[in-house]
Amino acid sequence: MRRLLPPLTGLTMLAALAIVFLVVPTEADMGIVQRIFYFHVASAWVAFLGFFLVAGASAVYLWNGSPTADRLAYAAGEVGVLFCTLVLVTGPIWARPIWGVWWTWDPRLTMTVVLWAIYASYLMLRGFGGDDPALARYAAVLGIVGVLDIPLIVVSVRLLRGIHPAVINRTDGGTGLVDPWMRIGLLVSALALILLAAWFMDLRVRGARLEEEVAALRRELDARRGEVA
Amino acid sequence: MRDALVILAKDLRIEWRTREGLSSVLVLGVLLVVVLTIAQDPSPETAPTLAPGVLWAAFVLTGMLGVQRAFVLERENDCLAGLLTAPLDPAAIYAGKLASNVVLLGVTQAVVVPLTGLFLHLDLVPRLPALLLVCLLGNVGFASLATLFGALAIRVRAREIMLPLLLLPLLVPLLIGAVQATCAVLVGGLAAASSGLGVLAAFDVIFAVAGWLLFAYVVRD
């Protein structure tokens, strides 16, 4: 399964690119720039999955202290911030020609940038918090508090003024994705990005375990050197 | 519960003996209101509309430093370690610390809010009960998170920068709710502020409970 992940990711990615750029019809009002939507929305889904995975793995870590859960939380945080960054990059590229501005304080935009900041600070804590072994526990607390904040952010940003299009669940009924290929394109690109995220996380989790093994071996080596001297 | 009250009494006694934290936080709060107002260079007509933003930005920034200072005090001479060896439930320590932070920040608000009204031409007196409710809810919500993360940040490297870094993004819903509720209260009274107050109340409950449950994981050794 692990061996299959990279080629599977590559094939799905190629399929997503082919569907989005060759098959899906150009959107009538917005034109070519609308095609970024398939990666923008799919990245947002993956980012959210990553953030919830941080909270889930953090809760498991606090419950049973499993080092794998801790490594998974860290990797999910990295992947979540990466894809959230992609959302924040692809969004303005679309917004500039459509809204006329790169950025606006719409509820969804505000929510995304706040979530990005929360999990960026999670990575800061893990990266620069020192080498105290308790740091994993502190990070887990932050991972859980962060996900508790999400519903509050969602509700509070609605108090701001909004212009972001709601494509999937429209209040006027039906979906904004009129052509069936549009829906297929979105789903295939979401699948490709989920596979990519899984591959990244697998690499990071295994990398973290190797780093810990190296650190343990180095300590042992230093101890033995001390004995010889 | 009784343990929490003991912690609260201890913190207030320490504070009362020097009054160092309270006075520095008070002066900082006033200073921030002045600086944030000057930075926007308001005309007499636009001044009242700035009040909610200035008020809550000043509150969050002073509060962060006030809470951080409270934990720096505990760190000196290893007071926190002493506190943890005492036969106390960490949740009780959290509750006591939360209460003492709420009191400290409440005193700050009692000075900074009227002063903001004065500086920005607002007649606060008829709005006082509603405003009091908004301030209290904002205070408790802020202190719930700040107490948890104050205890956390003091234990990691780069602690001065870590507390604002961790706390500010998490406080965004509180800030939006408090500013919207304050705006609504100043314009239309309590009924108009219901959605902002709802956000604040939910924030308070969620993070007071989360802090109470998670505090043990932060201070345990």
Interchain proximity B162–A129, CB inside 8 Å: yes
DSSP helix, strand, coil percent of chain B (3-state; round to 5):
90, 0, 10
Weakest-pLDDT range from A66-75, A175-184, B38-47, B128-137: A175-184
CB contact at 8 A, B166 and A126: no
Q: Which of A124, A148, A156 comes nearest B210 by C-beta?
A: A148
Largest CA-CA distance found in chain B, in angstroms, rounded: 58
Task: State the first-to-last Cα distance of chain A, in angstroms, to the nearest integer.
Answer: 47
Residue of chain A nearest B208, judged by CA positions: A145
Contacts of A160 in chain B (CB under 8 A): 176
Q: Would you call B148 an interface residue with chain A, using a CB distance cutoff of 8 Å?
A: yes
Residue B83 CA to residue B219 CA, distance in Å, equals 10
Mutation pick from B174, B217, B221 vs chain A, by most beta carbons of A within 10 Å, is: B217
Q: Is the pLDDT of residue A163 over 80?
A: no
Residues of chain B with pLDDT under 50: none
Q: Higher confidence at residue A30 or residue B184?
A: B184
Residues of B in contact with A134 (CB under 8 A): 155, 221
CA pair distance A192, A24, nearest whole angstrom = 17
- Would you say A106 and A164 are in contact if contact means Cβ atoms under 8 Å apart? yes
Residue B161, min C-alpha distance to chain A (Å): 10
Q: Which residue type does B101 have?
A: N
Residue of B nearest to A59 (CA): B214
What pLDDT does A166 receive? 66
> CB of B208 within 8 A of CB of B73?
no
**Confidence tier at A168 by pLDDT (50, 70, 90):** low
Contact B202 A142 (CB under 8 A): no
Are the beta carbons of A224 and A90 closer than 8 angstroms? no
Per-residue pLDDT tens digits for B115-166: 888 888 888 888 888 889 999 999 999 999 999 999 999 888 887 889 999 9
Shortest Cα–Cα distance, A112 to chain B (Å): 11
Q: Residue A216's Cα: distance from chain center in Å? A: 31
Quickly list DSSP for A55-119.
HHHHHHHHHH--HHHHHHHHHHHHHHHHHHHHHHHHHHHHHHHHHSSS----HHHHHHHHHHHHH
What pTM was computed for the model? 0.89
Instruction: State mean pLDDT over A146-162.
Output: 87
Q: Which residue, A33, A156, A152, is CA-closest to A96?
A: A33
CA nearest neighbour of B171 among B86, B65, B72, B60: B60
- Cβ neighbours, 10 Å, residue A210: 10
Contact by Cβ (8 Å): B103, B4: no
To test the contact with chain B by mutation, choose from A114, A118, A137, A152 the residue with the greatest count of B C-beta atoms within 10 A, namely: A152
Per-residue confidence band for A161, with pLDDT thresholds at 50, 70 and 90: low
Asked if B108 and B26 count as a contact pair (C-beta separation under 8 A), the reply is yes
Nearest to B146 by CA among B68, B72, B54: B68
* Interface with B, mutate which of A156, A157, A158, A161 (most B CBs under 10 A): A156
Question: And the tokens for A4?
Answer: 């299959």
Neighbours of B71 (CB within 10 A): 23
- Burial class from Cβ neighbours inside 10 Å (0-12, 13-18, 19+) for residue A29 reads exposed
| pLDDT tens digits, B95-108 | 999 999 999 999 99
Q: Touching check for B196 and chain A: CB below 8 Å?
A: yes
